[in-house]
Structure 1
Amino acid sequence: MGVSEKLVVGLSSCHVPEAKGWFSQTVEENLEQICWRWGSRSKKAEPFCLYKTEASLQSDEDVEYSEKYRGKLHLHASNREGFCFDTSSKRKRTSKEHKRASFSPCRLDANQMWELSNNGTLMNSYSGSCASIKVMKANTAPGGIRSWIATGKKGEVYLAFFNLNSARTVISTTVSSLSKAFPTINFGSCSYKEVWSAKDYGSLQHSLSASVDSHGCALFILTCT
């Protein structure tokens, strides 16, 4: 049974090294990301990113929450704007705990509100947990995640993510990883869209992430110049 590494987006104490390294960057006008910067262990690795949006109010009765959630963020994978990074836990975690992230429909809920701190942590103030990245060993057994990549007749690139797990899972890849598969393609000049939702995401920046339903898939078309 082969063993490889996988990136796990999860929740942990805010005091562990895995919780520090988040930063904000502007992708284009009115579009920003919260990204994880790798440490000295992986200096050449592209950052892992989630898209950020301000928590939006839906009606007059929600105005009372405007001050409470001022400055707080919703975070979502690129193809799941309606699903936000969520912590269902209502207790503080110990320094040894690392729970996998979950995504659920976006709502005005404290469990989905995140705040980027000056020390590089991404904290959920309600639970006291911080978003964290951890590299873990992954056995190539049934279950887990799979990816597939190919080129089309006109030079377009097709990228598919398959989630074989029993829960929705965030699957991601980086520009550097794509370049290893097709060295002659300039992935830094690509735009991309998701086939099933027909959503256009514009320019590819550093990484591509998708929150994929259990036993589901996401299919992207990348057009590069």
Structure 2
Amino acid sequence: MMFFFLLNLSINFVRPFYKTYSFSWIISEEYLQNANIISQQLIAYGYQYAIVDYLWYRSLKGDSNYLGFDMIDEWGRMLPDPERWPSSRGRRGFTDVANKVHSMGLKFGIHLMPGTSTQASNNNMPILDTTTGQPYMESGRVWNAKDIGIPSRACKWMTNGFMAINATTGAGKAFLRSIYELYASWGVDFILNGLEHPIVLSLSPGVSPTPLMANSVSSLVNTYRVTEDDWDEWSAILADFNVARDFAASNLIGKTCLRGKSWPDLDMLPFGWITDAAVREGPHRVTQDEQRTQMTLWCMAKSPIMYGGDLRKIDAWTLGLITNPTLLNINIFSSDNHEFLEITTLNDVKTKGHTVTKVPFTYSLALTECTDPKASGWSSEKYNQDLERICFKSPTQDQEEPFCVHKRELPIASSKQSSIQSEQIWKLKSNGTLVNGEIYVAFFNLNNETTRISANIADLPAFSRLGTRRKLRICAGTETWSRSIIRTKTTFSAEVPGHGIALFVLKCL
């Protein structure tokens, strides 16, 4: 039995990642139908990328590990299979598909395997020098695929497909440059940053990346995978809790990278109908409680949200889950999210395999006007005659009442410096992000049976760090799924179903 919850201390108004949709082994018509659904139903919630998953270059005559069925050009670069992507004929690649996706208001992405294809290496294909349009030459000779390929480092799960390359050589760098320039010319938005066409780079450093490994890549990319492939099985979800804990404890969530911030990626959400018929085929095999647990963990860990199912068959319940305004606000705006273990259960069962981690906290303070563009969604208004309040209305909360705090009531998670006068109960961090004192607490019940889980308000880091400086008066809020109301200054609890989740949104004074 194991219990786990993550704690958030404030709302950080910076969009942290790129919500996406991913789809493999499909034809262009199916893909574009799904992209249209994103445009019609999901773009308002922040979903902005439609990504073609791996094997878009492989003929359906071969499976994922067949040799000799890849579509490649004369320079060893992958091209779309023209049988599945008819518009790619005539060396047009994904240009027409990308244009259609862009016309829907979305961004277009593709999955790439690292290195070079075994097929290109076996054929010893030349490497393009994009500066000359000719085969790459160095030291008086032409360099080919065999000169940069490393057969001893073939892909472990696709041994006949791809191998690593020596990217320290001029030829290796030229090969990578030729790939990215080709795909950027198609209009790809989700591969690489650094070209004239702005592109997002997301990579997978292996099946078992560690925070130590992430330190070497997080500053170079926008997102990076930190888990094995996630399928619709409870065992796969369970394995991700320790991963989320470790990367949060290592302060790798939202770490500064070359152009912005980088985000550990817990993999796509295998909800709904999975389309890869050779491996899995839906509908989902996890319960609704388990799906809520997975979505909540992803959002509390601020993982990129990638929906992996066929949107043409999505049901109303699943659509409601992936567009839940509370979860999306946590994922986009929250900060300081960590595991916290000061909880009790009805049977006082101790958690195994976890330790309590003390999380450092640093204050920063500046001021802004509600009319400032950085404060988008915030407003100041009169309430009950002379009493004023500040309210936030998220664009994802069309059906929700705005969250408001009276100017004369200081949220306890705000800094002491914010209490100089009533107008200063909000903080503006040095990076221009607006912060309030709303707190999120999630109880994850990883046991099979329903269990009552409790926590003491005074034990939460938001309050324990205050010491005797401030007396807690009251905490009030709701549990997201049951919509039950809580008001307490001591403890709060919930009956959490097996493999389920209770998510509290608290405002404390």
Note whether the superposition's TM-score is higher than 0.5: no
Between Structure 1 and Structure 2, which shows a larger proportion of helix residues?
2
- Larger Rg over CA atoms: 2
Between Structure 1 and Structure 2, which shows a larger proportion of strand residues?
1
TM-score when normalising by structure 2: 0.18
| Greater relative CO (CA pairs within 8 A, separation 6+) | 1
TM-score when normalising by structure 1: 0.33
